Structure 1
Amino acid sequence: MRPPAEAEITAPSFPGKARWVNVAMLRMDQQRGRPVLVEFWDFCRVNSLRTLPYLKAWHERYADDGLRVIGVHAAGFEASRDPDAIRAAVERLGIEYPVLIDAELEAASYYGIQGWPSRYLWNQESRLFDFHIGEGAYAETELAIQELLGIEREPLAPVRPEDEPGLLLPAQTEDQPGPYSGPYEAGGVWAVLSGEGVVRANGVEVAVSHPGAYPLIEHDSHTAGVLELEVGDGVRCEAVCFTPGVAGVGRG
């Protein structure tokens, strides 16, 4: 989404004492002269994980053309607040671009983020050029990147059917705190888990070895189902989350 034409929103500075992954330190004022894509994310939020393939691909496709991709890890769960866990997640997820550890949510406050993920594209003068809250708008973001770089390429193909531009998706069940069991409608079911052990979702065992968002059930389309979640010893469940799916007639 483009900001209003009359708006001149300048990129906030990064917290001076923040720790970084994949780079010693970055200052926003030193990025002038190149477009910068900043995405606020959390490795325990499935919505953030679902945008990662696009962020990683944009970094690979456009870094040599001048784009700087920066991830700001703003933890929304207890399980994702530990800096060592964040570093481990960055390595496990194969993220090669710089990641700021926003432990005190200072950067999130500067930006006034309204959800995860939150994506901000700044132009060469560090002014807001395009932004998006939540999943989606991937082709829109990539075309905005190309506009700033002055290049034209075929945008990335959608990673999932529900990522098709302009597709209207049925509303999925809202995320539920704690180890939720009960009815839902969604394309998939995930849980925010930490500790070590196992959980069982509708009788299927899922091993837990690190804090993160774990897939429990995946459907081919938007599906009505009932979740029966059992959390084993040594595991903590902070939330059960639901992902969108294309309209369908399945039941699970």
Structure 2
Amino acid sequence: MRAPAEAEILAPSFPGMSRWVNVAMLRMDKQLGRPVLVEFWDFCRVNSLRTLPYMQEWHERYADAGLRVVGIHTPGFEASRDVDAVKAAVARLEISYPVLIDNELKAWDAYGIEGWPSRYLWNQESRLFEFHFGEGGYAETELAIQELLGIEREPVAPVRPEDEPGILLPAQTADQPGAWSGPYEAGGVWAVLSGSGSVRANGEPIEVTHPGCYPLVEHPHHTTGVLELEVGDGVVCEAVCFTPGVAPA
């Protein structure tokens, strides 16, 4: 969504004394003269994971043209509060742009964030140019980046069918706390897991080797199903989460 021209919203500063990954430190006031794309995310939230391919591709496509991409990792689960786990996740997910570790929620509060993922595109004068909450809106964000950089090219192709611009998706089941089992409607089922061991989802074993969001069940389209989740010794399940799917034809 484009920011109202009359709003003149200036980018908040990055919190001082923050920990960073992939860079020693960044200051927002040192980014004047270049557009900056900021996204708040959590490696334990599946909707954050689903936006990462776009963020990474925009970094690779436009960094040389002047775009600065910054991920702000603000934890929403106990499993994602550990600094070493965040660093390991950035490496595992092959994120190459700078990531600020916002464990104290200082950046989160400065922006007034209400959920993950949330992304903000700031222009060369550090004024808000475009923003989006949640998944989707990828083409709009990339076209806004191109406008600021004076570049024209075909936007990144949708990673999933449900990412197609303008598509209407059925509502999926709401996220559930803990090691939940029961009926659901969704395109996929995930769990926030930590520890070491295994779980079984509808009889299928899944090995847990690090904290993160693990796929339990995946469907080719929006489906009604029943989850039977068994959590083994040594594993903690903080939540069961659902992703959207395209309605069957």
TM-score bracket relative to the smaller structure: over 0.9
Letter in 2 for 1:55: M
**Take 1:248 and 1:187, find their aligned partners in 2: how far apart are those partners?**
10
- Aligned-partner SS, 1:132: strand
**Take 1:50 and 1:149, find their aligned partners in 2: how far apart are those partners?**
25
**Take 1:167 and 1:219, find their aligned partners in 2: how far apart are those partners?**
18
1:114–1:133 CA contact under 8 A, matched in 2: no
What residue number does 1:165 align with? 165
- Structure 2 unmatched ranges of 5 or more: none
- Superposition RMSD in Å: 0.6
- Aligned-partner SS, 1:191: strand
What residue number does 1:196 align with? 196
* TM-score (normalised: structure 2): 0.99
Structure 1 residue 5, shift from structure 2 partner? 2.5
What residue number does 1:208 align with? 208
Percent identical among aligned pairs is 80
Letter in 2 for 1:133: F
Letter in 2 for 1:5: A
Structure 1 residue 4, shift from structure 2 partner? 1.9
What residue number does 1:121 align with? 121
* Superposed CA offset, 1:214-247 (max 9, x none): 0000000000000000000000000000000000
**Take 1:70 and 1:218, find their aligned partners in 2: how far apart are those partners?**
30
**Take 2:18 and 2:168, find their aligned partners in 1: how far apart are those partners?**
39
Alignment of 1:121-160 (within 5 A): 121-160=121-160
Letter in 2 for 1:164: E
Alignment of 1:84-95 (within 5 A): 84-95=84-95
**Take 1:38 and 1:4, find their aligned partners in 2: how far apart are those partners?**
18
What residue number does 2:26 align with? 26
- Aligned-partner SS, 1:241: strand
Letter in 1 for 2:231: V
* Superposed CA offset, 1:101-137 (max 9, x none): 0010100000011210000000000000000000000
Number of aligned pairs?
Answer: 249
- Structure 1 unmatched ranges of 5 or more: none
**Take 2:225 and 2:146, find their aligned partners in 1: how far apart are those partners?**
41
